[in-house]
Amino acid sequence: MSSFSVTEPTKRTKWFAGTMVIVYALITMLPLAWIMMTGFKSPADAISYPPKVVFEPTLEGYVNLFTTRTRQTDEFLAANPPETWYEEIVREYDMVIAGPSKFGERFLNSVIIGFGSTFLSIVLGTLAAYAFSRFKIPLADDLLFFILSTRMMPPIAVAIPIFLMYRQLGLSDTHLGMILLYTAVNISLAVWLLKGFIDEIPREYEEAALIDGYTRFQAFYKVVLPQAATGIASTAIFCLIFAWNEYAFAVLLTSGTAQTAPPFIPTIIGVGGLDWPAVAAGATIFLLPVMIFTILLRKHLLRGITFGAVRK
């Protein structure tokens, strides 16, 4: 009996593939690990050379990220002993905490704008994709191409017109302005991805619902939406990742109330020297929501990416 099989890889192939996956994982995860470790280092450890792999972890970076601090006289420090663990960390540098930093606020802005624009992109994208998929729309192909063509240039190419327009409309540095902007960029992706997913859902399901006494819209949200959940989840992840990480427009159009985390994190560098642990801590926290969102939807995402590749 030969052990040859068409579908089953040989031991050597498996071993090789496994090694490649591990090497690739190491390469991509090393910078992440570096950032996360730096977040727990002291400023001295963070810039030491050669880099320290073993170090004494400290929450200094995180405290610095979330607070603003000022230097105080020795008399003041002696009169006011530290009350909390984070104050103790700051005291080592003869500082006191003056108040919370803007990071929490900026992070919240990122959440509002990122999830808000994702939600809007998905709602509008699903409705548009459904219409393109199911109804006879005059010039449907041309419209779809037009929608896609908005992605053919880097969005930042239109930064100046948008900047001027937003100033006129009073949308500069507002949550609504940023949500609309990211939605406008994401919607083409959403329509195209979702149309593919909805095309895969047999029309008979909706027709059965129509026959069973439901209206077109009821059939859409009771039958089509649950079927499209996979596609919606993966599209949502793509939209969120874009809106979450977007930097150029955020720098240009926001400065205060609606500033998101990406343009804020680099500004930490300027406050009292190069505070790498605080920057790293900010980056680590910034990564979490997308990570959690992706992990929650990962089943859908995996199915979503391979969706339509195999005929069921």
Partner 1 sequence: MAQIIIKNVRKEFGDFTAVKESSFTIEDGEFFMLLGPSGCGKTTTLRMIAGLELPTSGEIYLDGEEISQKPPSQRDIAFVFQMFALYPHMNVRKNLSYPLVSQGMARRDVKAKVEEVAGILGITDILNKPVGGLSGGDRQRVALGRAIVRDPKAFMMDEPLGALDAEFREHMSEELRALHDRMGATTVYVTHDQLEAMQMGDKIVVMNNAVVEQFGTPQEIYDKPATMFVADFIGSPSMNFLDFSGKVADGATSVDLGGQAHGIPRQMQGASGDLVFGVRPEHIKLSDDGAYRGEILATEYLGTTQIITLATPNGEAKARIDSAQVAKVGEKVGLSFEAPKVTLFDRAGGQALRSELNDGVLSNG
Nearest approach, Cβ of residue 274 and partner 1 (Å): 54
Other beta carbons within 10 angstroms of residue 65's beta carbon come to 25
Strand partners, 99: 68
Which of 217, 241, 213 minimizes the C-alpha distance to 126?
217
**Residue 122 is a binding residue for partner 1 (CB under 8 A):** no
Q: Beta strand pairing status for 67-71 and 95-100?
A: antiparallel
- Give the binding range for partner 1 (CB under 8 A) out of 21-29, 95-103, 187-195, 203-211: 203-211
Residue 68's contacts (CB-CB under 8 Å, 6 or more residues apart) are: 97, 98, 99, 100, 101, 271
The site that binds partner 1 (CB under 8 A) totals a number of residues, namely 16
Q: How far is the CB of 209 from partner 1 (least distance, A)?
A: 7
Q: Which helix (H) or strand (E) holds 9?
A: none
CA 9 – CA 11 distance, rounded (Å): 7
For partner 1, the closer of residues 63 and 209 by Cβ is 209
Q: Coil, strand, or helix at residue 99?
A: strand
Per CB under 8 A, does 205 bind partner 1? Answer: yes
**Which positions from 143 through 202 interact with partner 1, judged by CB under 8 A?**
202
User: Which listed residue (95, 179, 223, 279) binds partner 1 by CB under 8 A?
Assistant: 223
- Does 213 sit near partner 1 (CB under 8 A)? yes
Question: Among residues 8, 92, 94, 207, which is the contact residue for partner 1, using CB under 8 A?
Answer: 207
140 binds partner 1 (CB under 8 A): no
The owner of tokens 């170090």 is 55
Contact status: 214 vs partner 1 (CB under 8 A): yes
CA dist 60 → 136, 208, 240, 268 (Å): 61, 61, 30, 14
Spatial separation of the C-alpha atoms in residues 199 and 145, rounded to whole Å: 17
Q: Which of residues 53-112 bind partner 1 (CB under 8 A)?
A: none
Q: Please give the C-alpha separations between residue 114 and each of 59, 175, 186, 239, 261, in angstroms, as whole numbers.
A: 28, 10, 11, 8, 11
- Phi/psi of residue 109, nearest 5 degrees: -60, -45
Stretch near partner 1 under the rule CB under 8 A, chosen from 36-44, 211-219, 275-283, 295-303: 211-219
Q: Are 196 and 308 in contact (CB under 8 A)?
A: yes
- Looking at the Cβ atoms of 8 and 207, the one nearer to partner 1 is 207
- Residue 11 or 311 having the CB closest to partner 1: 311
Pick the piece of the chain touching partner 1 (CB under 8 A) from 27-35, 112-120, 218-226, 297-305.
Answer: 218-226
Find the binding residues for partner 1 in span 225-244 (CB under 8 A). 226-227
Please check whether residue 125 is in contact with residue 235, taking contact to mean a CB–CB distance below 8 angstroms: yes
The nearer residue to partner 1, 67 or 230, going by C-beta atoms, is: 230
**Minimum CB distance to partner 1, residue 229 (Å):** 9
Residue with Cβ nearer partner 1 (83 or 204): 204
Confirm if 96 and 87 have CB atoms less than 8 A apart: yes
CB nearer to partner 1: pick between 86 and 205: 205
Q: If binding is defined by CB under 8 A, does position 142 make contact with partner 1?
A: no
Q: Which of 213, 158, 205 is nearest to 184 (CA)?
A: 158
Secondary structure class of 311 (helix, strand, coil): coil
Give whichever of 214 and 307 is closer to partner 1, judged by the CB atom.
Answer: 214
- Which residue's CB is nearer to partner 1, number 202 or number 256? 202
Where on the chain is the footprint of partner 1 (CB under 8 A)? 202, 204-205, 207-215, 218, 223, 226-227
